Structure 1
Amino acid sequence: MTVVGIDAHKNWHTLVAVDEVGKRIDVLTVEARAAGHRKIMSWLEQFEHVRVAVEDCRHLTRRLEADLLDAGHQVVRVHTRLMAGMRRSGREPGKSDPIDAEAVARVALREDGLPTAELPGPAREIKLLSDHRRSLVA
């Protein structure tokens, strides 16, 4: 399983993908706009089993979370209080967007019972099927 952590800001989002042991696989930074969200969805396709973790700052992530759910992804919210300890124990010293996004992903790996959202079964299956049909036509 791959967990993707997102550090969201008003103008950009930084994503870091980690494997099941928390090792960084890839990094992506995009504009916090519709075009950036499309880049994120394309980038996520390279991973087989993905769980997306977002730092809980809904005023910055509401649209992105909706787009992720519409694309069939599971979205986990990580409370900001859980981030401090993970940053301190991180492999890189300091604070940066990739470090913060990686910390979000690692918290999602470590913590059980985080608030999780995904489209329910039939709605998700219909959405994924319609997306698949659209990609075959294109």
Structure 2
Amino acid sequence: MIIIGIDPHKSAHTAVAVDAAGHKVGQRRFVVNSGTFGRLLHWCAQWPGRRFAVEGASGLGRSLAQQLAAAGEDVVDVPSTLSARARLLATGGDRKTDPADALHVAQVALFRTDLRKVSAEDQSTILRLLTERHDDLTGERTRIVNRLHAVPAASSCGSGMRCPRDSATRSASVRASASREASQRYSVADRARAPGARTSRACSSSSSPMPSWTASMLSASVDR
């Protein structure tokens, strides 16, 4: 049996075919577009007895793995941790290239019998994926709209102050501020008009003479 290891990426997929001994018998790179799947099957038609090993069939390679499974191909999922371990054992380092990764994926699938077999997803799974994607797009749109609303508010109110959002809130804020200032002014004026406050200020000031009405009040109290 021929094992075809695939290293999937967003822009291109690299496929390497190995025989039963693990020797490479073919290699090709496929640019990702609408005709990628057809070209891959046409290239693999030279090996009737074949099995596909896709790295990350539940992640980045999910679309390709599902296309292969829906076409009736034998597909297994190779976790990236296993392919990385095989690369480390083969090269003695962590340097990686797409052809080398695809080769190690195929070799892992050749010698491991406990890999997960990829099956075609039904309509419920597809609807769930579409719903999750819709929720992600809705959340992203809400985040962008909130940011766009925050930019004019920050530019009009300044970066160091908080600006009320509507005219009613701004009016209430202005009225509250004016009321606080008026109460402070009235409190100061009441203290200034109090006779005790005037007497204490007059007595504590040695440079200014005592007013006549204050002296008369003090003398009258002493007589009583």
Q: Which TM-score band (shorter chain)?
A: 0.7 to 0.9
Q: Secondary structure at the match of 1:29?
A: strand
TM-score normalised by L of structure 2? 0.49
Q: How big is the alpha-carbon RMSD for the aligned residues of Structure 1 and Structure 2? A: 1.9
Structure showing greater relative contact order (alpha-carbon pairs closer than 8 Å, 6 or more residues apart): 1
1:113 and 2:114 are equivalent in the alignment: yes
Structure 2 Cα separation of the partners of residues 43 and 115 of structure 1: 25
**Which of the two has higher C-alpha Rg?**
2
Structure 2 Cα separation of the partners of residues 64 and 107 of structure 1: 19
From the two aligned structures, give the one with the greater strand fraction: 1
Q: Secondary structure at the match of 1:99?
A: helix
Q: Structure 2 stretches of 5 or more lacking a match?
A: 121-224
Map of 2:15 onto structure 1: 15
Structure 1 Cα separation of the partners of residues 92 and 15 of structure 2: 16
Runs of 4+ in 1 over 6 A off after TM superposition: none
- For the Cα contact (< 8 Å) 1:41–1:71, is it kept in 2? no
CA offset digits 1:51-77 (Å, max 9, x no partner): 100111534222211221122211100
Q: Structure 1 stretches of 5 or more lacking a match?
A: 120-138
Structure 2 Cα separation of the partners of residues 23 and 54 of structure 1: 18
Aligned length: 119
**CA distance 1:63–1:57, shift in 2 (3 Å):** closer
Map of 2:60 onto structure 1: 60
Q: Secondary structure at the match of 1:22?
A: coil
Structure 1 Cα separation of the partners of residues 14 and 101 of structure 2: 9
**Worse-superposed segment, 89-98 or 66-75:** 89-98
1:97 and 2:98 are equivalent in the alignment: yes
Map of 2:71 onto structure 1: 71
Structure 1 Cα separation of the partners of residues 53 and 25 of structure 2: 15
- For the Cα contact (< 8 Å) 2:54–2:75, is it kept in 1? yes
